[in-house]
Structure 1
Amino acid sequence: MRRAFILAAAAAAALSVAACQKTDSQPSAADPGTGNDAVNAAQDAASAAVGAASATQISTEDFVTSAAISDMYEIQAGEIAQKKGQSADVKAFGKTMVTDHTALSKELKPLIAAAGKTPPTGLDERRKGLIDNLNAASAAEFDQVYLKQQEAAHDEALSLMRNYAEKGDDVNLKAAASKAVPKVQAHLDHVKQLQAAPPAPAKK
């Protein structure tokens, strides 16, 4: 009941923020992208709040769903970053995300099957929204949007892995979650370094 209340509150906040942004940040003729950028940023922030709440779920069913969708999102977002990234560092990070999360997904697959669970085969609506916002981001804004999404996504994934490693009920998945924690933490640390450092220019 408490988890449902938290998720409902986060979802309500998401709708409220997005609605306010749509009302107050309409694009101007001089800068037609401003309004959409503000709305998309509000949606991404709301997604982060919902994700932070949902990452506390510790049932095996919830863990499998969240972990599978997290990997799918990271792979798709990383592929977009390799194409749209404006700095060499962002492009390289996107490539690393594709490699590392593809590997993590493959490691989890047989363990999920052994636990008698079936992972989802596509993104949920929340992560679809994040991908849509990456695709819609202008060249000038892309790196910032991507890295902000990545910080929130890895905060969520780190919480998910730590919580299941500590409190999960499948011994093999608990071990996999524990093993994943240092890798996810390294990704999060890398994101924060990229946000703090001047961008390296992308190769032409």
Structure 2
Amino acid sequence: MKVTTLTVLALLLATSGYAAEKPSQSFLKKAIEGNYAEVEMGKLAQQNGQSDNVKKFGQMLQADHTAANEKAIDAAKSMGVTPPDGPNAKQKADYEKMSKMSGQPFDRDFATHMVADHQKDIAEYKKASKSADAAGEYAKGNLAVLQKHLETARSLASKKTSSR
């Protein structure tokens, strides 16, 4: 009985301390995975894209999300979070699907994917930016870049019927 009570007490103490930071920790982990995924998708756009605009957007994604990830990893470490070392399973599956495409079909699906992805990211970053911690500061500092990416992706998506 002593061990059970002690175990329950230890679990309660561990989870109550962990719960206070969990949303910020979770956000940072997702942000880091997302940055890794965007870097890889950016590289893929440069390889498989047809239009110069898609390739340039790929370069922008690769550069911006590499820089953002350095900041996100620093924020995670400052909060005692072990940063992930790559994209999550869904992001890897999205990459695999896109990697089998090229030319006009790639450009079209890439632009559509980037619009949806950045809309979702902006919503998550806005929510996280309200936190008064390293995760909130990171989120606030990256909203403008994500907004620029969304606008670029929307522009590409609206041109998806043209070949250049």
TM beyond 0.5: yes
**Corresponding residue for residue 180 of structure 1:** 142
What are the within-5 Å matches in structure 2 for residues 47-86 of structure 1? 59-86=23-50
- Write the distance in 1 (CA, Å) between the matches of 2:70 and 2:34: 13
- Write the distance in 2 (CA, Å) between the matches of 1:99 and 1:108: 14
- Write the distance in 2 (CA, Å) between the matches of 1:79 and 1:171: 32
Letter in 1 for 2:40: Q
Pair 1:97 & 2:61 matched:
yes
**Corresponding residue for residue 89 of structure 2:** 125
Pair 1:193 & 2:163 matched:
no
Deviation digits for residues 77-110 of structure 1, max 9, x if unmatched? 0001001100000000000000000000112222
**Corresponding residue for residue 153 of structure 1:** 117
* Cα drift, residue 200 of structure 1: 6.6
- Write the distance in 2 (CA, Å) between the matches of 1:172 and 1:139: 40
- Write the distance in 2 (CA, Å) between the matches of 1:104 and 1:89: 22
CA contact (8 A) 2:25 2:76 kept: no
| Structure 2, gaps ≥5 residues long | 1-21
Give the alignment's TM-score, normalised by structure 2: 0.81
- Write the distance in 2 (CA, Å) between the matches of 1:188 and 1:140: 20
Q: Name the % identity.
A: 23
- Write the distance in 1 (CA, Å) between the matches of 2:56 and 2:63: 11
CA contact (8 A) 1:75 1:101 kept: yes
- Write the distance in 2 (CA, Å) between the matches of 1:140 and 1:189: 20
- Write the distance in 2 (CA, Å) between the matches of 1:68 and 1:130: 16
- Write the distance in 2 (CA, Å) between the matches of 1:150 and 1:118: 27
Give the alignment's TM-score, normalised by structure 1: 0.65
Secondary structure in 1 aligned to 2:129? helix
CA contact (8 A) 1:130 1:149 kept: no
CA contact (8 A) 2:76 2:135 kept: yes
| Structure 1, gaps ≥5 residues long | 1-57
- Write the distance in 1 (CA, Å) between the matches of 2:85 and 2:77: 14
Letter in 2 for 1:163: K
- Write the distance in 2 (CA, Å) between the matches of 1:177 and 1:126: 22
